[in-house]
Amino acid sequence: MEQYTPGEWEVSRDAVPEGHAQFTIYADNNANHGRGERVATAFVSRANADVIAAAPDLLAACKATAAANSSIEACDMPPWLDDVEAAIAKAEGNT
The tens digit of pLDDT for each residue in 26-74 reads 887 655 555 677 888 877 678 888 888 899 999 999 999 999 887 777 6
> Could you give the residue ranges of the DSSP H alpha helices within the chain?
46-53, 55-68, 80-91
Average pLDDT (1-13) is: 69
Q: Which pLDDT value is given to residue 63?
A: 94
Q: Which pLDDT value is given to residue 59?
A: 93
Q: Which pLDDT value is given to residue 29?
A: 62
Q: Which pLDDT value is given to residue 58?
A: 93
Listed as own residue / partner, the contacts of 31-38 with beta carbons closer than 8 Å and 24 or more positions apart are: 35/10, 36/5, 37/5
C-beta neighbour count of 39 within 10 angstroms? 19
pLDDT at 14 over 70: no
pLDDT tier, 84 (very low <50, low <70, confident <90, very high otherwise): very high
